[in-house]
Structure formats: C-alpha cells, structure tokens
Amino acid sequence: MRQGKYEPEKYDHFIAGRSLDPGVKPGFAPTGYCDSKLMNALFTKQLAEKTGSSVTSVCVCPGWCYTQLARSIRIPFYKKFLFLPIAFIFMRSAVRGAHNIIHGAVEETSNLINGGFYRECKVSVEDNTRLDGLNESALNLWESSEKLCKI
C-alpha cells in the first residue's frame, strides 16, 4: 500500500467543488451534485483505463426522474406552480430511469464499451467526446482518490 503526501493544490478543486465567477448566477442544479456526477463519469473512464479488459465499467445516466432527490431544495411555491406542467411532460418515472442502470448491469459485456457513458441504454457519443477531453482531470481525480483513501 502506497502512502502519499497530502498535496492540496493537486486535488482540492475536487473537494471544494466548482467555483463560480463573481456575478454569475448559478444554474438550477446544485454545483456539488453536478460535480459529483462529472466525477463519477471521469472515475469510470479511469477505472476502465486502469483495469483494461479485466473489469468492464460503464457510467449510466438515468435521466431526469421523479424521485425524492430534490426534497431538500427550497423552491418558492409560484415557481413550482409554473414548473409543474413542464415537469409532467419531460420527467420520467424512477422505474423508467432505472432501465438505464439495469441495462448497464445486465447487458453482455461484449455489447458495452468499457468506460463508456450511456443514456437511454445507448452509448452517448456527445458525452463521451466531452469526457475524453478531460483525461487530465480524470487522472488527477484518480490520484486524488488514491491519496484520500491512502492507497
């Protein structure tokens, strides 16, 4: 087991989350949540690279599902009222979102791309292209995880 020296400049940006420029209003989704999803995808890519063909790792997006995930987010009543019709049209059930996750778990490994990002039970070319452009960040995240776990 390797013991690494704590070097905050190498990975504190993953711990602190995304910093916003002054005066820029954050989007609706909490940055910590969005960052954690990005880190899951980057970690999946690195796991695939590190393990080669001995382990198949995929990252799946269940989509925008009706769950209790946002139960602690405070949204004014009038915004909920205006937003409700849109939510009913575009939001999927938790069961439908689970289809993507189940697909990644039960699909034959020969039909999956190791390290791939999947939406709607298909590899997402657009998302994979974006993630492939973040290889340095993915490696940095992997090294950060090793150090934080003292591996």
122 DSSP assignment = E
Query: pLDDT per residue over 53-82, tens digit each?
Result: 899 999 999 888 877 766 777 778 888 788
Task: Name the amino acid, one letter, at 127.
Answer: D
Say if 116 falls within a structural domain.
yes
Query: pLDDT per residue over 127-151, tens digit each?
Result: 999 999 888 888 988 998 898 888 8
**Which residue(s) pair with 61 in the sheet?**
119
% pLDDT > 90, the chain: 32
- Is the overall model pTM greater than 0.75, yes or no? no
How far, in Å, CA of 129 to CA of 142, rounded? 19
Domain that holds residue 110: 8-148
How far, in Å, CA of 32 to CA of 49, rounded? 26
Say if 51 falls within a structural domain.
yes
Say if 111 falls within a structural domain.
yes
Helix (H) or strand (E) holding 92: strand 92-93
Cβ atoms of 76 and 82 closer than 8 Å? no
Query: pLDDT per residue over 109-120, tens digit each?
Result: 999 999 999 999
**In the predicted structure, residue 50 carries a pLDDT above the cut 50:** yes
Say if 112 falls within a structural domain.
yes
Say if 86 falls within a structural domain.
yes
The number of distinct structural domains making up the chain is 1
How far, in Å, CA of 135 to CA of 58, rounded? 16
